Chains A and B, each alone.
Chain A
Amino acid sequence: GAVVSQHPSWVICKSGTSVKIECRSLDFQATTMFWYRQFPKQSLMLMATSNEGSKATYEQGVEKDKFLINHASLTLSTLTVTSAHPEDSSFYICSAAPAGGVGEQFFGPGTRLTVL
């Protein structure tokens, strides 16, 4: 149980294009999902907290117009990197906390984004 998927697992795009990443909880409902970013050999940095049916809460320094988050249902959250540039290249990971749970998070496998 508690499986989270992400799609795509990797993507290469040209500078200036937008990329959408999907995060799905497969066997549970998640009121809250989280988006993290990880640079090589570094820790995970929380970008935003996504709550179903409401606007995402972004961490300080994260551009909300750059990283659009939509949490349309209890099993799906999407992150859109708009007008991507090479400095947006990174490993993006989502996590989900089961509704009614104790706050334990379960992570997706991550999406590796490379912007040329």
Chain B
Amino acid sequence: GIQVEQSPPDLILQEGANSTLRCNFSDSVNNLQWFHQNPWGQLINLFYIPSGTKQNGRLSATTVATERYSLLYISSSQTTDSGVYFCAPDTNAGKSTFGDGTTLTVKP
């Protein structure tokens, strides 16, 4: 099956800093989602982005499907951004494979 690698595994930022999270995948994908898992375990949809670039407030994402990677940008980070960020591409309709995640800690 598809292999998904996320980097870095852990990231500590000072509030206000910017960051880039990376997701590499080993196969062609039909779609790709980015999620934020909050401390209570809820997964929050950030982006549905099989290709191209999208922006939503301080967050943006870019997927280059031909090169098999996706990037999540967080600008002007806030303490509420802390949590685990997962990317989840899928090669078969609706069957996603999750990466190991990036644990982000934003310090005040």
A116 within 8 A of B: no
The residues of A that contact B48 with a CB separation of less than 8 Å are 102, 104
What are 11 A-B pairs at a CB distance below 8 A? A38-B41, A42-B100, A43-B100, A44-B43, A49-B94, A93-B41, A103-B90, A104-B48, A105-B88, A107-B42, A112-B41
Q: How many A-B residue pairs have CB under 8 A?
A: 55
B30 touches A109 (CB 8 A): no
The residues of B that contact A104 with a CB separation of less than 8 Å are 31, 33, 45, 48
The residues of A that contact B95 with a CB separation of less than 8 Å are 34, 46, 49
A interface bracket (residues with beta carbon within 8 Å of B): 20 to 34
- Number of chain B residues close to chain A: CB under 8 A: 22
Q: Which residues in B have some Cβ–Cβ distance to A below 8 Å?
A: 30-31, 33, 35, 40-43, 45, 48, 86, 88, 90, 93-101
- Of chain A, the residue at the smallest CB distance from B6 is A43
**A49–B40 Cα gap in the complex (Å)?**
24
A43-B42 contact given A104-B31, A104-B48, CB 8 Å threshold = no
**A103–B35 Cα gap in the complex (Å)?**
15
**A35–B94 Cα gap in the complex (Å)?**
12
